Chain A
């Protein structure tokens, strides 16, 4: 095994920026990312450029920087990091099923976030997917997710994906945003220090308008219907706290529904490493506790980007840079004064992004009305096909924690190990029990982070 240097988990904007910062200061690092190429979800590179939209210039820029410093950066794309053992030892498995244990001196966690979808009737029908999934289809493979597509949920990501679909020639019927238009109209007040981001948002809206795709504010999807696959979506205007007005339901014939209500930080590796977590619903839920240098509570482990609190790709790149420098300083390769000066600059940049981000977080904060969409027979855990009736009965019988609910109802016991269902199911449980969300806790995280075969696991024995 070659010397890994500082191991960076995740090759998105945070991970790439961290690598560039480390390599610039002469240290070696290894980026581990499951994707075919660096970029993460936001800067994902097409596998076939001929049939996909051009990659984002900021992503191309970071990839070029990493390539330029290639002498100091091992890029391990295709490999998945699935466990952290004894502090800093990172288990990774390659696509050909070889497992090894990297033993770095410092680790930067930059795993990003995944999408949050609250359960509602029909959400498990084929044809219902997340905007991110549709983005992977169009961006990397040039495959349209469907013929008539409805995009719904909350947040600017919906607009970005809708525009990418239009570029890919897909018929987007409309975009439904849960928050009222009045809330969105206040954004320029908060974003005057970051006009480029406002311009980006405006460009999305302009593009949608030109393509005659209406953006309808203050509406939520209440049900998806179809026999074996999606053929219609029911949506309704919302009142206070996003409670749908069910006497005003509209039905739209579509074959695809893209639905996403924001993002959940991927904190499982931080949990496995023993990092303390804190609950911050405003930035996605449970996040690792970090100090000013983005150091977690475990010595030598740093966390950056959306995986440590959702703040978008620009903030992720800045955090990555800071975490990279902090890890470099942790290993004694930068002097205190240089580091402090650099941190000051980065913090200033991060502060400039913050007002707009906070305003967006407020607009898209999940409201209790979403919980009213769940019916008794709605599946709340997709992997194990547990319905809300089954889960609620278990809760009423005393299973009010993740562990206990899992044991008695099997919710969270499947392939995703609660990563997908628990962020919303925990809210339903908290509401049922009438206790604070923090009391319900995050799902416990255990290796492996994603499924690996027993054969791949057994291959790790050669690593003695």
Chain B
């Protein structure tokens, strides 16, 4: 039996759900296909909305830089266009949270005013911090340097043994799982259809177009396809003879028991780890960055490192119980920028992937621009820098 739909979105993570939601809002008939594969990036994300911090290489970037004993004072920042993209996307969270709450009754726990603190322990980091101030300070005017006393007044559990911190007041957090679930249900409320455990097996193509998607849950005739399969999107693309340079990049995280909410007021980024307390009270400590194919195991030594890093930043965490550790696979690209918009090879095949470590903060705007691209409208934010064709020479 063949179903028909306008658009098939493949992948029910944060990005796929956001695209499905945006398409459904525009009145398109959407089918969202998902497989509950372990190790998806959405479920191993801490949900930091660090549009500035991440663009400037904080979060996982600085941890990786430290681990690899990278040259220079800290990791290089991402291009300004992408910083603007994340900034624009981040601004959408308050209204998106309100909309989703009304639409499907889910609170995505988009917190305002937690802010991100980059803790500066040593001289090398201080030079990195000063460069960050130079890069971002003038542009967005919302980066501040904090003294240890200032930090202590705000978050008394943070160590005194540091030189200071940089505060990003606009870099907050969200619950990535609830965001995804709300987007998915929001899409369904707007008429989209969600099919679980529908692994895509093949595409039927004709005259340079995909005409149907074959899945474990049936074949769906369609007018367009969106590939939002995260770390698995290169494999999905390959089913349509499309090559995109997406590689799984593992991130391992540690989750503690629930503490009194508000025990940590800020999101923390350090050279060893990042630390966020979620709305329910658990503290998430992440994250490593490594290429390891599709292995989603955790490594003993990495777990110990993350724990030690967290205790260095917040000594009181020493006595807190670890509840679970796990790993997720981010969809990484060679230039760390996403792949959005039309494929080169098939005219109605679209990408919404390569979110790497910023997929959650990028999800709202990614949904909008990819939906616009699918519907033949001009996206509100140019996706020119993120088109797949920039890799043509690479994959040819």
Contacts and interface: CB of A to CB of B under 8 A. Distances in A.
Contacts of B36: 401, 403-404
Interface string A394-425: 00011011011001101000110100000000
A453 B38 CA distance: 26
Main DSSP-derived SS at the A contact region: mixed
B308 A458 contact: yes
Interface string B277-304: 0001000010000000000011111011
Interface in A446-464: 446-448, 451-455, 457-461, 463-464
Contact of A403 (B43, B300, B320): B43
B178 to A, nearest CB: 8
A210 to B, nearest CB: 46
Interface in A367-415: 397-398, 400-401, 403-404, 407-408, 410, 414-415
Interface size class of A (residues with CB under 8 A): 35 or more
Interface in A280-335: none
A397 B319 contact: no
Contacts of B256: 454
A91 interface: yes
A155 interface: no
A454 B310 contact: yes
Contacts of B196: 398, 400, 404
A447 B325 contact: yes
A56 B43 CA distance: 47
A444 B38 contact: yes
B360 to A, nearest CB: 14
Contact of B322 (A410, A452, A459, A461): A452
B21 interface: no
Contacts of B38: 403, 444
A453 B325 CA distance: 13
Interface in A75-95: 83, 85-86, 89, 91
A463 B325 CA distance: 19
Contact of A415 (B185, B257, B303, B319): B257
A270 to B, nearest CB: 14
Nearest to A407: B177
A417 B324 contact: yes
B303 A447 contact: yes
B317 A408 contact: no
B299 A453 contact: no
B238 interface: no
A101 interface: yes
Q: Among the interface residues A83, A447, A453, A454, which one has the most CB atoms of the partner chain B within 10 A?
A: A454
Nearest to A404: B36
A390 to B, nearest CB: 12
A85 B300 contact: yes
Contacts of A154: none
Contacts of A130: none
Given A404-B36, A448-B325, A454-B318, A99 B304 contact: yes
Contacts of B181: 407-408
A446 B326 contact: yes
B304 A457 contact: yes
Interface in B171-213: 177, 181, 185, 194, 196
A463 B308 CA distance: 13
A410 B308 CA distance: 28
Contacts of A455: 307, 311, 318-319
Nearest to A460: B304
Interface string A82-119: 01011001010000000101000000000000000000
B323 interface: yes
A83 B321 contact: no
Contacts of A457: 254, 303-304, 307, 322
Given A397-B185, A404-B36, A444-B38, A453 B300 contact: no
Contact of B321 (A86, A444, A453, A464): A453
A461 to B, nearest CB: 4
Interface in A252-294: none
A383 to B, nearest CB: 9
A448 B310 CA distance: 17
A457 B181 CA distance: 32
Contacts of B311: 454-455, 458
Contact of B298 (A397, A398, A408, A446): A446
Nearest to B314: A454
Chain A to chain B: the 5 pairs with minimum beta-carbon distance, closest first: A455-B318, A451-B321, A457-B307, A458-B308, A458-B307
13 contacts: A83-B300, A89-B300, A446-B324, A447-B298, A453-B321, A454-B254, A454-B285, A454-B321, A455-B307, A458-B308, A460-B301, A463-B304, A464-B301
Given A403-B38, A404-B36, A454-B320, 8 more contacts: A86-B299, A403-B43, A447-B298, A451-B322, A453-B319, A455-B319, A458-B304, A458-B318
Interface of B: 36, 38, 43, 177, 181, 185, 194, 196, 254, 256-257, 280, 285, 297-301, 303-305, 307-308, 310-311, 317-326
